[in-house]
Amino acid sequence: MTDQSQAAVLLASQDADGGARSDRRSGWLRFFGLLLPFSFLGFLLIAQGAASALRGVQPLRSSLDTIALRALHLPGHADWLIFGDSLSQHVLMDVSVGDPARVADLTTHAGAGMPSMYLLLRRYLSTHPAPHHVLLAVSPETYADVPSQKDGGFWLVPTFLEPDEQAWLSRFYPA
């Protein structure tokens, strides 16, 4: 092979390598410049659409969230309302104290304290007639302790979202 033919082969191989490198580079540029940003933008639009569609839905983060929703939709017109802490709640999970239409169980836990019981009572009374009896089955700490700013901000403020509930809570747990 002559020097000229060797130079031509070498030049052709360099062009082929440069072309492959150029194709790889344009593939990465297309991925990072177009595909990734548009995919990310599409995901954000889908997430925002789902979030706005679920805006009015109460989150169920804890048992207090479930109890707060249940207070509005309890069946019947209870003669008895039971408020309590987690000790009472665990007992009432296993033991029936009466017909659920006549005995409304609104037991919660000590972390939410008496403010949650007050707000649960208000919720219950907004959709039901007044009961004949209210039973408080709480330990002395629950009755005496007011939840701290941290506990109130975690348990109460995200659970009780009605404007009047938020106004009442803002006096004790400012945002």
95 and 24 belong to one structural domain:
no
21 and 53 belong to one structural domain:
yes
Reported confidence tier of residue 164, pLDDT bands at 50, 70, 90: very high
Burial state string for 119-136 with b = 16 or more CB within 10 A and e = fewer than 16: bbbebbeeebeebeebee
Q: Total domain count for the chain? A: 2
At 116 the pLDDT is 92
pTM (two decimals): 0.67
Domain of 8, in residue numbers: 1-57
82 and 133 belong to one structural domain:
yes
Q: Which residue has the higher pLDDT, 43 or 75?
A: 43
Q: Which of 37, 57, 77 is the last residue of a domain?
A: 57
35 and 81 belong to one structural domain:
no
At 10 the pLDDT is 52
Q: Is residue 175 part of a domain?
A: no
- Residue corresponding to tokens 């580079």: 25
Q: Is residue 37 part of a domain?
A: yes
- For residue 113, count other CB atoms closer than 10 A to its CB: 24
pLDDT in tens, 12-41: 555 555 556 667 778 888 888 888 899 999
- As given in the structure block, the two tokens for residue 37 are 């940003």
Percent of all residues in the chain with a pLDDT value above 70, rounded to a whole number:
86
